[in-house]
Amino acid sequence: MEDIAIRGGTLVDGTGAAGRRADVLVRDGRVAEIGEGLRAEHELDASGCVVAPGFIDIHTHYDAQVFWDPALTPSCYHGVTTVVAGNCGFSIAPTRPEHRETIALTLENVEDMNPATLAAGVPWDFETFPEYLASVARRGTALNFAAYVGHTALRLYHMGDDAYERVATEDEIRAMARSVGEAMDHGAAGLATSFAPTHLGMNGKPVPSRLAELGEFEAMAAELGRRKRGVIEATIGQGFAFDEIYDFQRRIGVPVTYTALLAIPGFWQAGSERHRQELARGTGVWPQISCRKITMQMQLVDPFPFDMATCFAELRAEAPAVREQRYRDPAWRARAIEELAHTPLPTRWENFEIAESDVHPQLTDRALVDVARERGVEPFELMVELSLAEDLRTRFRYVQSNDDEEGVTHLLQQEQMAMGLSDAGAHVGMLCDAPLPTDLLGTWVRDRGVIPLETAVHKLTGEPAAIFGFVDRGVLRPGAFADVCVFDPATVAPGAIRRVRDFPADADRLTADTPEGVRHVLVNGVPIRTEGTSDERARPGQMAEIG
């Protein structure tokens, strides 16, 4: 590696300290020196820019994509240098050969992943979790990579198809706990699960982790407590929410982060107040928050966002032709309208737009309620009418949640709340929230002044590194790994989201590959983005070590 001097910028080192004028000298993958007037054979201009640690995205689902897209696009474009995969308990290891299709169908329903893409893109030269990490490491990555071992994968590995049907036996629980210990000893970031009612897997059934008793999960989590390392991540739901998670963390003794404390009226206030009370007692719980509106695209051929309604959950096991029959049935549509109005997150039709339509291009970007009003029909009836005209392929865009700006502002300003929920690598046909860091820095820091720049950088770097115990990452200081993001605070922004077709099996996805203001990105001292141009061939990433 050649020496690199990053010159002329304002150093914001990730600790939360005030920025200062300083150059950064990089040597052998690490920060060699910080000061003024530093020179090297290779120099990067940072004038007018902030020089910060590379950003850490703690909530991704890159478990499979890492094999066919080791650059981990689009996160690499937005200053992210370390990712954590396996969230919500949906790792792809451990997996026995006979359960690969079950894992694929589970990920299809719960994370909108294409089974054909998974079959074509995942090498499946692994079975255990340590073998999975070794497979990723052999192929190389552009970014540093860490992953949870997942509760759903563990249940399928040790229980087979029964994982979808029943609680575990004591012997099965002990076997799952041993697998967690093995994973932790070979580099896992921690253990993840989901109890969320929205998480439906194969054939519309609750994902296997939702069938577990809390004692089962706690027996596995105790493996982290014994080692005093790693993080537990949970998507909360009935039986594991505010009333349980804080006491659970005190019993286990390692950090717990939960997904997600979203800015939904009535929800964020209660969650924030409970967290404030627990902070006064002392807690290692970190609610995950996001500055992004949860904006999805959907089609009635695969109505994933409506799965909280029973009638739509039942469609999961039906063929597309049967789904079309249901949509044509007036009684079924009336039932759907009623159920969608009374789900835990009621459907707000005023938040829907018509996003893409080959048959009705003149309606693109129009509000669904406006067109429905003109035609004198219910918004859902209009959605069905438009969709039936093009094989259920009409795309609709809607803001599902996290659009209460007062709530987002409040949550960003609270102590011990972690930036998370980019969901990068999942729901790729429906949303793209990988630009979370550039959105935070542009919209919420520069444009709205909700939090200071130094605080925002800390929340993207030093804070998550400390939660996970990532060794020598998250801060810029002599001796630390040279993960660096150089950005222009006056122009940084997430850029446009567009649809591309670049996944295995000719699958499409949404991406955000044109951020503004991200000038340079280095991973372990190697530039992967220079003057706004990315090198997707670089493979300087490492398996992120946890201390």
350-361: per-residue pLDDT in tens?
999 999 999 999
pLDDT of residue 8: 98
Q: Same domain, yes or no, for 120 and 200? A: yes
Collapsing DSSP states into helix, strand and coil, what is residue 404?
coil
Say if residue 37 is in the same domain as residue 76: no
Q: Using 50, 70 and 90 to split pLDDT, how confident is the model at 89?
A: very high
Top pLDDT among 283 and 2 is at: 283
- Which H or E run contains 180? helix 170-185
How many folded domains does the chain comprise? 3
Output the pLDDT for position 416: 98
Q: What is the CATH number of the domain that holds 62?
A: 3.20.20.140
Q: How many CB atoms lie within 10 A of CB 296?
A: 21
Q: What is the pLDDT of residues 397-406, one digit of tens each?
A: 999 999 999 9
In this prediction, what percent of the chain has a pLDDT beyond 90?
92
What was the pLDDT predicted at 371?
98
Instruction: Note whether residue 486 is domain-resident.
Output: no
Global confidence as pTM: 0.96
- Of 369, 398, 427, which marks where a domain is finished? 398
Q: Is pLDDT of 391 > 80?
A: yes
Residue with tokens 């002329």: 8
The pLDDT value recorded for residue 70 is 98
Asked whether residue 146 is assigned to any structural domain, the reply reads: yes
Q: What is the pLDDT of residues 276-330, one digit of tens each?
A: 999 999 999 999 999 999 999 999 998 988 988 999 988 877 888 899 999 999 9
Is 442 domain-assigned? Answer: yes
Region 164-192 average pLDDT: 98
3-state secondary structure 229-285: CCEEEEECECCECHHHHHHHHHHHCCCEEEECCCCCCCHHHHHHHHHHHHHHHCCCE
Same structural domain, 257 and 177 = yes
Residue 305: what pLDDT?
A: 85
Say yes or no: 269 and 416 in one domain: yes
**Is 343 a residue whose pLDDT tops 90?**
no
83 and 120 in a common domain: yes
| Same domain for 215 and 79 | yes
The three-class DSSP label of residue 353 is: strand
Please state the rounded mean pLDDT for residues 343-350: 88
Using the 3D structure, point to which of 367, 383, 398 is the last residue of a domain: 398
pLDDT, residue 190, reads: 98
Q: Is residue 480 part of a domain?
A: no
User: Are 343 and 454 in the same domain?
Assistant: no
The whole-chain average pLDDT of the chain stands at 96
421 and 347, same domain (yes or no): no
What is the average pLDDT across 359-382? 97
**Domain containing 162: what range?**
55-293+402-474
pLDDT digits 0-9 by tens, 92-143: 999 999 999 999 999 988 898 999 999 999 999 999 999 999 999 999 999 9
In a domain, 41, yes or no: yes
Cα 420 to chain centroid, rounded: 7
Residue 214 in this model has a pLDDT that exceeds 90: yes
Residues 6+ apart with CB under 8 A from 491: 442, 516, 517
Rounded average pLDDT over 450-466: 98
In a domain, 545, yes or no: no
Indicate if 235 and 106 belong to the same structural domain: yes
Question: Is 540 within a domain?
Answer: no
The answer to whether the CB of 22 falls within 8 A of the CB of 33 is: no
Instruction: Output the pLDDT for position 238.
Output: 87
Identify whether 174 is part of a domain: yes
Whether residue 394 sits in one domain with residue 411: no
Q: Indicate the helix (H) or strand (E) that contains 333.
A: helix 330-340
The 10s digit of each residue's pLDDT in 516-526 is 999 999 999 99
Average pLDDT over residues 232-240: 94
Are 346 and 438 part of one and the same domain? no
Last residue of a domain, one of 459, 474, 489: 474
In the prediction, which pLDDT does 4 show? 98
Nearest in space to 310 (alpha carbons), one of 342, 274, 285: 342
Q: What is the CATH number of the domain that holds 520?
A: 2.30.40.10
Residue 69 pLDDT class (50, 70, 90 cuts): very high
> Same structural domain for residues 287 and 304?
no
Buried b (16+ CB within 10 A) or exposed e, 399-418: ebbbbbeebbebbbeeebbb
